[in-house]
Every structure is written in C-alpha cells, then in structure tokens.
C-alpha cells in the first residue's frame, strides 16, 4: 500500500510507537482497534494484548471496538484478564453460515457490548440465535474482485435482528468501491447503534 506500517504485508506486526496514541486524543472518539489486522491473532502474545487493554483502560473517555475472527482466543484472554470494561466492545466476523459458531463463543465472553459483523456478507445466514448480542453490522464486499451480496441475505438478517431486539446497522451494498452501491435498504438508511450510554453516532466498522 506504500505505507511504512504495512511494509511486512500480511505478517502481524506490533507497532510500539502507536500503542499510546489514544492517550493523546483528548476529544472522545470511537476507536476501531487494529482495523487492518486482528488483535487476537495467534502471533500476538497475551502480554502485548494486555498492554493494549492497559492503554484502553487509561484512555477510558474513548469507546473501543475490537473485531476478531478468533473469538475462541478472545474468550481465553477474557478468562485470564477478567471482565471487559464497558467502554470496550467486543465483536466477531461471520461472513458465511459455516462460521456461525463464532457467535456462540462470543456470547460466552463477559462484555457489556457484544457485536457481530456480517461483512463481507457472502451467503445466506439462515436461522440466527442472537441472544446476548447487542449489535449487528451487515455489509457487502468492495474492491476490484468483489463478490455480490444478495438483498434477501441482508433482509434475512435484518428481520431476525428486529425480531430479537438487536440493533441493526447496514453499512454498504459494496462494489468496486465501498460507496458504489450506496447503503439504502428498502428505502431506509439503517443506522442503529447499541442501546448503551457510550454509543456515539460515528461510522461503524
């Protein structure tokens, strides 16, 4: 990408110089932690993850969203670390129905806000069990070789969220660029956030 921090490509890399940046952001903001990677990747030690959580605890005027494809490791960390502070939201990605078990693992974690990102949505999800989940984000894939998202897949998730009392956020239809298809679903922008005092109206993940 021509950015120095990504010089190692897809190899997980710890950037010690960036670790304390949230302490210097005085205005409260929503922080998507490790947006280009996965904080719970197997190559990142629990010691390093604890240091990340230490900064998040110190800079507790921000709200943090942590998204992983490895909820089992997130659960193991939570067991070792203890209850997750309420300004740190934990989520997992579920792009295909084959990975719905990630939701069951996420539900075991003791966190105030748990969320699921169905992005990129690559197939129908079927029946979802969303008890204990506060927020669902849905989005289509974007980029040169993006795979299409079917409107029925999106509606299926939305309707189950409505029926189970889960806040629903529709991020994008996807296409060559994130904004290609817009984000209107059935004539409406779905911009719901968790029913939580720390939720702020800023773009979702």
- Three-class DSSP category at 48: helix
Banded model confidence at residue 205, pLDDT cuts 50, 70, 90: low
Residue 204 lies in a domain: no
pLDDT at 201: 44
Q: Give the Cα separation of 145 and 181 in Å (integer).
A: 15
pLDDT digits (tens, 9 = 90+) for 90-125: 999 999 999 999 999 999 999 999 999 999 999 999
* Domain coverage including residue 97: 28-189
Q: Does 197 reside within a domain?
A: no
Does residue 202 belong to any structural domain of this protein? no
pLDDT in tens, 48-92: 999 999 999 999 999 999 999 999 999 999 999 998 999 999 999
The domain total for the chain is: 1
For residue 205, being part of any structural domain is answered with: no
Q: Angle between the 46-58 and 71-81 helix axes, to the nearest 10 degrees? A: 70
Q: CA angle, 193 as apex, 170 and 92 as ends, to 5°?
A: 70
Confidence of residue 9 (pLDDT cuts 50, 70, 90): low
Which secondary structure element, helix H or strand E, spans residue 104, and what is its range? Answer: helix 101-107
Report yes or no on 149 lying in a domain: yes
Percent of the chain residues past pLDDT 90, beyond the cut = 81
More confident residue, 36 or 131: 131
Q: What pLDDT shows up at residue 6?
A: 65
Q: Is the pLDDT score of 191 beyond 90? A: yes
**14 occurs within a structural domain:** no
Q: 């494809």: which residue's tokens?
A: 69
In a domain, 107, yes or no: yes
pLDDT given at position 16: 77
């Amino acid at each position: 990408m021509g950015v120095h921090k990504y010089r190692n490509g897809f190899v997980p890399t710890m950037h010690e110089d960036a670790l304390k940046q949230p302490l210097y952001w005085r205005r409260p903001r929503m922080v998507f932690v490790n947006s280009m990677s996965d904080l719970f990747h197997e190559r990142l030690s629990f010691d390093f993850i604890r240091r990340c959580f230490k900064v998040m605890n110190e800079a507790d005027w921000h709200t943090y969203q942590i998204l992983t494809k490895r909820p089992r490791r997130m659960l193991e960390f939570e067991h070792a670390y203890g209850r997750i502070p309420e300004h740190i939201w934990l989520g997992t990605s579920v792009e295909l129905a084959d990975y719905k078990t990630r939701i069951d693992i996420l539900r075991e974690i003791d966190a105030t806000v748990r969320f699921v990102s169905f992005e990129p949505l690559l197939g129908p999800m079927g029946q979802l069990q969303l008890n204990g989940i506060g927020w669902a984000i849905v989005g289509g894939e974007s980029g040169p070789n993006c795979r299409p998202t079917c409107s029925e897949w999106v509606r299926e998730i939305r309707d189950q969220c409505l029926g189970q009392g889960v806040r629903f956020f529709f991020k994008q239809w996807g296409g060559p660029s994130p904004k290609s298809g817009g984000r209107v679903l059935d004539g409406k922008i779905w911009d719901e956030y968790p029913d939580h005092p720390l939720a702020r109206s800023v773009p979702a993940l």
